[in-house]
Amino acid sequence: MSQEHSGERDGQAPGSVDARSSRPAAIDVDGLELTYGDGTEAVQGVDMTVPEGEFFGFLGPNGAGKTTTIKVFATLLSPTAGSVTVNGFDVTADPRKIRESIGYMAQETNIDPELTASENIRFACEAYGVPRGTRADRVDELLDLVDLVDVASKRAEEFSGGMKKRLDAATALVHQPPLVFLDEPTTGLDPKARNRLWEYFQRINEEGTTIFLTTQYLEEADQLCDRLAVILGGEIVADGSPADLKRQVGGEVLDVDLEDGDDARQRAASIAEGFDAFSDATVNVTDEGISVTAETARQHGTDLLVALRDAGLTVTGFNIRAPTLDDVFLAITGEELAERAPDQGVEQ
């Protein structure tokens, strides 16, 4: 963080301080709206505050408005209405200062295929004004971090999708910005590469970097994020820590696997919905059968299994467990978050 930068932030108005943490806000949003030229109302009245140092997760189904929101924060789109402050600077009045004080890893990789891995990172160092004397060390450090030391002198056009993603992460972080936007940074990466990036994100967060993450992987959000917000149709519909959100689901989840296809799953769901002992239950049809979330799932789970069997349905397995973020997402949005498969066979 530059001196100028921290100085400006020290002078922030009290209203931009997150009340819960008393830390200054890295991002402060009031009534943000963004309507595209074709009339699409992508973001409609978003309010949020992300305090400095937080690892914040922004979740939502495809088309919910996540990338649009991030692009406003990164000053690539101007708000239609509302006020947005990033690192203490207004997105409309001070876009240049914001760009200097953030890192942005977009969904599409932003590297030059004709340059080598080292050259791409060195180029980003120049673009972001990393002091000349420290550039070589920074290039080596980042190559090591994203596991590209062995291919440092190869052109990026020869890289797999996962390698390009890792190189892109390195270029977004060269200037050690106090706030980093990561738009699905690990999509398509295999578990090893994903873990390696997680470790780095956690490390820079522990050292004080604020992180604003969108992800397709709810497990990733659960492991990394202090707090989450869920956006649906351009509006924030839930927010809290992963534990808070899981508690809000209420009770436990009974997963029942069934033989016999869709018809059997629908019948089982109707039986579970009408089951007296589960008056507070949420029932969802899953790929394998049904899942029932209820305060009394543990006490009355076996009664439901008997009722299903008496109705002629074949139960092939069952499990009672605590809610996960997938259950939270399902309860809030009514749909599972589709995960994009990793690039099979392209990782190294």
Q: Which spans of this chain sit near ligand ATP (rule: CB under 6 A)?
A: 36, 38, 40, 42, 60, 62-68
Comparing CB distances to ligand ATP, the nearer of 64 and 297 is 64
Residues 182-220: b if buried by 16+ CB within 10 A, e if exposed? bbbbbbbbbeebbebbbebbeebbeeebbbbbbbbbbeb
Alpha-carbon span 272 to 284, nearest angstrom: 10
Comparing CB distances to ligand ATP, the nearer of 41 and 260 is 41
Instruction: Give SS3 for 327.
Output: helix
Comparing CB distances to ligand ATP, the nearer of 34 and 174 is 34
Task: Tell me the closest approach of the beta carbon of residue 49 to ligand ATP, in angstroms.
Answer: 20
Comparing CB distances to ligand ATP, the nearer of 187 and 291 is 187
Task: Tell me the closest approach of the beta carbon of residue 46 to ligand ATP, in angstroms.
Answer: 11
Task: Tell me the closest approach of the beta carbon of residue 42 to ligand ATP, in angstroms.
Answer: 3
Task: Tell me the closest approach of the beta carbon of residue 62 to ligand ATP, in angstroms.
Answer: 4
CA 235 to chain centre: 16
Residue 53 is encoded by which pair of tokens? 């140092």
Task: Tell me the closest approach of the beta carbon of residue 56 to ligand ATP, in angstroms.
Answer: 15
Are 294 and 251 in contact by the 8 Å Cβ rule? The answer is yes
Bridge partners for 230 per DSSP: 59, 238
Comparing CB distances to ligand ATP, the nearer of 36 and 321 is 36
- Residue 107: name the closest of 58, 31, 169 by CA: 169
Comparing CB distances to ligand ATP, the nearer of 71 and 138 is 71
Alpha-carbon span 110 to 107, nearest angstrom: 9
Number of neighbours of residue 70 by Cβ within 10 angstroms: 22
Task: Tell me the closest approach of the beta carbon of residue 172 to ligand ATP, in angstroms.
Answer: 17
Comparing CB distances to ligand ATP, the nearer of 157 and 339 is 339
Task: Tell me the closest approach of the beta carbon of residue 304 to ligand ATP, in angstroms.
Answer: 35
User: Which segments of 203-346 are extended strands (E)?
Assistant: 210-214, 227-232, 235-240, 252-258, 282-285, 289-294, 315-321
Number of neighbours of residue 238 by Cβ within 10 angstroms: 18
